[in-house]
Each structure stands twice: as structure tokens, then as C-alpha cells.
């Protein structure tokens, strides 16, 4: 029997509160209340912190920057799924700010996008963010104003499942970052520099004028440091383990313009979650983690010693690291800071490897007639200026992308530039079209340079005005963003409801 439209929406519906994880692994929008709208369990977890200028100390050097409560990363937030998160934010910055809860499909007015979901919080003002967290997993919170993400204004948000079905002995968070603030001027200075070099955007238009002059280095922000959890390779965080344990690593990339490749020397990685949501386990040597992406992996601690936990920027030199150290191996000396584990060049995870753990098939053409609406979007650089466009338009002077509530929407993205674009959709999970029909549900995907093409599908089930943009902070600032605008309910006359 062919699935009806209603059954399809049950499978695909992953928006606010539509996701039932754990025990049964069934997706259903009918059986679950929508926590983000209904208020969840009612239990409230409250945090209060301040965004303010701070001195960030790294190995005896002091970098003036902006952070949350004086730390980089900011305070670790943890909350059980379904509970209500309340964060009282004080803006002690000499600028406007907001916080975005990256990856969580929450109510629109708490999403933290300045001038789209809220007026920016002025200097000296306070704002209370409060929403029910709809689904468990590894998330990031960060400022969504200008280039503030490229300062220290980010932190981890871990949502615990009601029933943990993954067995492990301990866990560590690993936040990967590229750092320039206070060392190479400010992020705003870096953007000025990019603008001053005109169209040297390291990957403008392809075809037509040819590719001459598009040097790989031009258009790239220079980072003197790469960090894991706010630590340099010379003074790394040490992850203590014992032989025989299973260790869960939550690998998150809040960097502003660095795609990292991640591996643990001497160990393989079993990928269990992508962007917070469970996937069928797959074993690899290395991950590519785009800006805004998260992967949870299990590492079987079966190879005693002191090992490099390495993150190297793609196509650039440099490295960030932590150390994995077995109890009782205090005598063995740590690997040198620059030591590059060979696992980085081993089996690399691809989107094609990932299957959502719910075992749900996205109906293919022929079963259903296809999405209600498709947006085909070209990603490209500007001509003669540092600019990054979606379909030739630069935000904020760009048209919204329209959807209607209830629609099955497909985005097809084509990269006509020489740079990676980690495209991030607010307010919804989408399913990556990876040719398996069982692609992972994610909120951020890397569209590869050199004519990379990628499609995803989502159900428009969380009304509001939602941001969709490249998670390279400089590309976003230079125009690579759109508002997804809900314009009304799906046209029921289309006849797809029958069946």
C-alpha cells in the first residue's frame, strides 16, 4: 500500500516537538504534544549570565574579547528533554546582541535572530529566553549578531533524553574553534580586510570569466590559533579514560570559518548522532565537521597510552587538539603538539554513510508525487566585491523564500564557488537526500566547493519567520542568508490528502 500524505508527514515531521526519540523511535506528530508550543513538562531550568568584554588568557597571553560570564566557551547548559530552559541574559557589551539556540526547533520568538525574530538586545539591557526544549542531543548556543560568533560568544547546550538508550561510561564535550580576536585585530577588522581586497573572495563565480586569479588563500580569514574547549595545542585538555570503557565524545564546531577534520589517534569512531539526532551506528576513522555541525561518537578505550585527539582545518595548515589519556599511563609522554594522527587520512565519514536511526524511509518519487514546493538555490560569490549570494541576492536586500504550513518543502543547493558553505536552517530539522531514502535528519549541511550539489527535505510545521544561511560567519555577514517566510496554510485543494 502506498503511504498516504498523512502517513508521510508522520514519518517526516520533525519540527517543533514532532520528534519522539528513545524507546520506540517512532516519529509522530499526532501522538506527541508539541513541547515548544505546549510548554513541555513544565519543569524549568534557569540560568543567568552576562555577555561582556573579557580578557581571554591563553598560555600566558591575554586576548581582549567578548564572552559569556568570563569564559570561552561560555557556561555549559544541560537540561532534560521536554523541560523549559530559561536564560536571563544581560547585555554588558558595547553593542547589541542576541542568543540563538542552534539546532533546536523552538518557538519562533525565542530563536534569537536580530530583526527577524526579535529586536536586538541593546547594550545594558536584559532579555529572558524561555522555551521548552523539544528534543535531546548536542546543541550550541551563540550570539547571532554580526560577527560576534567569531569572538567568544558561544557555548554548549546538552539536552538529555528521558531514556538514554546509548550505553557508555563517560562523556566529554569538544568544542572546536578558530581564533583571531585580540590576536589579529577583531573579526570586524578581518571583514574590512576581506572587503579591501575586493573580489578576491577565494572562489567567486565559476565559468564565464574563468578561474584565473582566484588564489586559494585570498578571501580567507587568517587564524593564528585553533582551539579545543578554549585551549591551545600546547596546553590541551586531557580526557581521562580507563581501559575497557566506552567514551562518548560530543564534537561540535562553533568556529566561524573553519571546516575541521577530526580524529582520535589509535582509535576508531563509532558515529551515533548527527546534529543531535540518532543515526544508525557507523564506524569511521575521521569526521569532517562543518561550522554549526555536531557529531556524537563512541570511542572504545582499548588501546592504552596517551593519544592525540586532533582537529585540523580542511585545506589549511594548523591544528587544534586535546589528549586522550588512559589511567595508569602517566609515564608515557604526550604526543607533540603538531603530531598529525594518520587516522585523519583514513576512512572519512560522508553524508552517504548516514541513515536516520528511526529506520524511516522518506517516500521517493513514484510513491508520492514529490514535494509540494522546491526552492532551487545557487550559492555563489560576488563579482568585484566581497559578497556571498543565494541565487544572486544578498541579505538583507533579498526576497524571503516562501513556504506554507503543512507543506513538504525541498531545497536544492548548487555551489558555484570554490568554498565550503555549511548551510543551516533554523526552526526545523531536514532530511538530507543522500540517495538512500533514509538520509540523516540534520540542521546544517556542508555543500562542497567546485560544483557541489545537495538537496534536503523538510516539513513546514513550525510557523514563523526563520533564518536560513551559510554558517561561515563572514559569508553570512556578506549576504549569504534568507528568511524562510510562512505565508499561510497548505493548499488542501491539491488533492494529495486523498489515499
Residues that bind Cu ion (CB under 5 A): 421, 470, 472, 475
416 binds, among Cu ion, ligand C2O, none (CB under 5 to 8 A by kind): none
- List Cα–Cα distances, 426 to 16, 93, 165, 247, 490, in angstroms: 11, 25, 27, 30, 20
Q: How far is CA 360 from CA 161, 163, 323, 343, 461, in A?
A: 20, 20, 37, 32, 18
Q: Which is nearer to ligand C2O, 102 or 151 (CB)?
A: 102
- Using the rule CB under 6 A, which residue among 469, 475, 482, 496 binds ligand C2O? 469
Chain residue whose CB lies nearest ligand C2O: 102
100 in contact with ligand C2O (CB under 6 A): yes
Positive or negative torsion for Cα 150, 229, 304, 168: negative
Phi, psi of 181 (to 5 degrees): -60, 125
> Strand 137-143's sheet: what is its strand order?
77-80, 154-160, 137-143, 99-102
Q: Of these, 144, 151, 325, 410, which contacts ligand C2O (CB under 6 A)?
A: 144
- Strands 294-300, 269-274: parallel, antiparallel or unpaired by DSSP? antiparallel
Question: For residue 142, what is its C-alpha cell?
Answer: 551563540
Residues in region 418-457 near ligand C2O by CB under 6 A: 424, 426
Q: Is 392 helix (H, G, I), strand (E, B) or coil?
A: coil
C-alpha closest to that of 360 among 438, 277, 442, 281: 438
248 scored as a contact of ligand C2O (CB under 6 A): no
| Contact track, ligand C2O, 159-198, x by CB under 6 A | ----------------------------------------
Stretch that binds ligand C2O, among 212-220, 322-330, 387-395, 463-471 (CB under 6 A): 463-471
Distance CA 414, CA 140 (A): 27
Nearer to ligand C2O, 27 or 474 (CB): 474
Bridge partners (DSSP) listed for residue 143: 99
- Partner interacting with residue 10 (select from ligand C2O, Cu ion, none; CB below 5-8 Å by kind): none
CA–CA separation, 391 vs 234, rounded Å?
43
CB of residue 201 vs Cu ion: minimum separation in angstroms? 10
288 binds, among ligand C2O, Cu ion, none (CB under 5 to 8 A by kind): none
Cα three-residue angle 29-35-40, rounded to 5 degrees: 140
The CB-of-350 to ligand C2O minimum distance in angstroms stands at 23
* Among 301, 201, 170, 283, residue whose Cα is nearest residue 243: 301
Closer Cβ to ligand C2O, 288 or 325, answer by number: 288
CA-based R_g, the chain, Å = 22
Rule CB under 6 A: is residue 325 a binding residue for ligand C2O?
Answer: no
294 touches ligand C2O (CB under 6 A): no
Report what 490 binds from ligand C2O, Cu ion, none; CB cut-off 5-8 Å by kind: none
Nearer to ligand C2O, 428 or 469 (CB): 469
Which residues are registered as beta bridge partners of 238? Answer: 323
Partner that binds at residue 496, options Cu ion, ligand C2O, none, CB closer than 5 to 8 Å by kind: none
Total residues binding ligand C2O (CB under 6 A): 10
Instruction: State the binding partner of 472 from Cu ion, ligand C2O, none, CB within 5 to 8 A by kind.
Output: Cu ion
Task: Using the minimum distance from each CB to Cu ion, give the nearer residue, 15 or 202.
Answer: 202
Q: CB-wise, 250 or 355, nearer to ligand C2O?
A: 250
Which 3 state secondary structure label does DSSP give 110? helix
Residue 193 three-state SS: helix
Considering only residues 74, 292, 335, 381, which one is a binding residue for ligand C2O as defined by CB under 6 A?
Answer: 292
Question: Rounded to whole angstroms, how far apart are CA atoms 150 and 164?
Answer: 33
Please say which residue, 54 or 470, places its beta carbon nearer to Cu ion: 470
- What's the CA gap between 371 and 414, in Å, rounded? 18
Q: Hey, what's the cell of 261? A: 577534520
Residue 268: contacted member of ligand C2O, Cu ion, none (CB under 5 to 8 Å, by partner type): none
Binding site for ligand C2O (CB under 6 A): 100, 102, 142, 144, 292, 424, 426, 467, 469, 471
Amino acid at each position: 500500500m502506498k503511504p498516504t500524505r498523512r502517513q508521510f508527514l508522520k514519518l517526516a515531521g520533525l519540527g517543533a516537538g514532532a520528534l519522539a526519540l528513545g524507546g520506540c523511535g517512532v516519529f509522530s506528530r499526532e501522538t506527541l504534544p508539541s513541547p515548544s508550543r505546549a510548554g513541555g513538562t513544565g519543569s524549568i531550568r534557569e540560568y543567568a549570565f552576562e555577555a561582556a568584554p573579557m580578557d581571554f588568557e591563553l598560555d600566558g597571553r591575554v586576548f581582549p574579547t567578548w564572552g559569556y560570564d568570563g569564559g570561552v566557551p561560555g557556561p555549559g547548559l544541560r537540561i532534560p528533554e521536554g523541560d523549559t530552559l530559561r536564560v536571563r541574559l544581560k547585555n554588558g557589551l558595547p553593542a547589541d546582541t542576541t542568543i540563538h539556540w542552534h539546532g533546536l526547533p523552538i518557538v519562533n520568538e525565542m530563536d534569537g535572530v536580530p530583526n527577524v525574530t526579535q529586536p536586538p538586545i541593546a547594550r545594558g539591557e536584559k532579555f529572558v529566553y524561555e522555551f521548552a526544549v523539544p528534543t535531546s542531543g548536542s546543541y550550541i548556543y551563540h550570539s547571532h549578531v554580526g560577527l560576534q560568533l567569531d569572538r567568544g560568544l558561544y557555548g554548549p547546550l546538552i539536552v538529555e533524553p528521558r531514556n538514554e538508550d546509548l550505553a557508555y561510561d563517560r562523556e566529554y564535550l569538544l568544542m572546536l574553534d578558530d581564533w583571531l580576536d585580540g590576536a589579529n585585530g577583531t573579526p570586524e577588522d578581518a571583514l574590512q580586510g576581506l572587503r579591501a581586497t575586493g573580489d578576491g573572495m577565494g572562489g567567486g563565480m565559476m565559468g564565464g570569466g574563468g578561474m584565473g586569479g582566484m588564489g586559494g588563500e585570498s578571501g580567507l580569514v587568517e587564524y593564528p590559533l585553533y582551539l579545543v574547549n578554549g585551549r591551545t595545542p600546547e596546553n590541551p585538555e586531557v580526557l581521562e579514560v580507563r581501559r575497557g570503557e566506552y567514551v562518548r565524545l560530543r564534537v561540535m564546531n562553533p568556529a566561524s570559518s573553519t571546516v575541521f577534520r577530526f580524529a582520535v589517534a589509535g582509535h576508531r569512531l563509532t558515529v551515533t548522532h548527527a546534529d543531535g539526532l540518532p543515526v544508525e551506528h557507523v564506524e569511521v576513522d575521521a569526521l569532517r565537521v562543518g561550522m554549526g555541525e555536531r557529531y556524537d561518537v563512541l570511542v572504545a578505550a582499548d588501546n592504552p597510552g596517551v593519544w592525540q585527539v586532533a582537529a585540523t582545518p580542511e585545506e589549511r595548515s594548523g591544528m587544534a587538539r586535546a589528549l586522550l589519556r588512559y589511567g595508569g599511563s602517566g609515564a608515557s609522554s604526550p604526543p607533540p603538539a603538531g603530531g598529525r594522527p594518520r587516522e585523519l587520512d583514513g576512512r572519512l565519514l560522508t553524508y552517504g554513510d548516514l541513515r536516520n536511526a528511526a529506520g524511516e524511509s522518506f517516500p521517493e518519487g513514484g510513491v508520492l508525487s514529490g514535494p509540494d514546493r522546491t526552492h532551487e538555490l545557487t550559492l555563489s560569490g560576488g563579482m568585484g566585491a566581497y559578497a556571498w549570494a543565494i541565487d544572486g541576492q544578498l541579505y538583507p536586500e533579498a526576497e524571503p523564500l516562501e513556504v506554507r504550513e503543512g507543506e513538504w518543502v525541498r531545497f536544492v543547493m548548487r555551489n558555484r564557488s570554490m568554498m565550503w558553505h555549511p548551510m543551516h536552517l533554523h526552526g526545523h530539522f531536514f532530511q538530507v537526500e543522500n540517495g538512500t531514502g533514509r538520509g540523516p535528519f540534520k540542521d546544517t549541511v556542508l555543500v562542497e566547493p567546485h560544483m557541489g550539489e545537495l538537496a534536503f527535505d523538510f516539513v513546514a510545521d513550525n510557523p514563523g519567520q526563520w533564518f536560513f544561511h551559510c554558517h561561515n560567519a563572514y559569508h553570512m555577514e556578506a549576504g549569504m542568508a534568507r528568511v524562510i517566510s510562512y505565508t499561510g496554510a497548505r493548499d488542501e485543494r491539491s488533492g494529495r490528502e486523498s489515499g
